[in-house]
Amino acid sequence: MNRNSKKHNMMKKSLTAFIVLFSISATFAQSGGSAALGAAATTISGYINDLGLLIYAIGAIVGTVGGIRIYNKWTNGDQDINKEIVGWGGACIFLLLVPTFIAAIF
């Protein structure tokens, strides 16, 4: 055997050993994961109302800033108001719907 084929065989063996070792350790790591996920879900569900209020506050700030920007563009005679309204309106609707989906998940 030449030197390159020995190197290639050694590389294949090392890669195979790594894959087998990694798959075995991943299997062992999954045994206690369900209890940890349950504890995390319980902890997160306690913060859902506070998180919803925070997202609503961010939505109010974004909506106010967007309204001021649109008003400034409108009073300056900018022709590109429609895209701005759709963009800011979509962002506000998204921020209003996010707490509902988060509460549904948890």
Mean pLDDT to the nearest integer, 14-22: 71
Whether 58 is covered by a domain: the verdict is yes
Between CA 104 and CA 99 the distance in angstroms is: 8
Whether 82 is covered by a domain: the verdict is yes
In this structure, what token pair is assigned to residue 82? Answer: 């429609």
Count how many domains the chain has: 1
What is the H or E stretch that residue 85 is in? Answer: helix 81-105
Whether 6 is covered by a domain: the verdict is no
Residue 35 identity (one-letter amino acid) = A
Which pLDDT tens digit goes with each residue over 48-102?
Answer: 888 888 888 888 888 888 889 889 988 998 888 888 888 888 888 888 888 888 7
What domain range is 101 assigned to? 44-105
In this structure, what token pair is assigned to residue 90? Answer: 């979509």
Whether 54 is covered by a domain: the verdict is yes
Whether 30 is covered by a domain: the verdict is no
Between CA 70 and CA 66 the distance in angstroms is: 6
User: Against a cut of 0.75, is the pTM above it?
Assistant: no
pLDDT band at 33 (very low <50, low <70, confident <90, very high): low
Phi and psi (nearest 5°) for 3? -70, -40
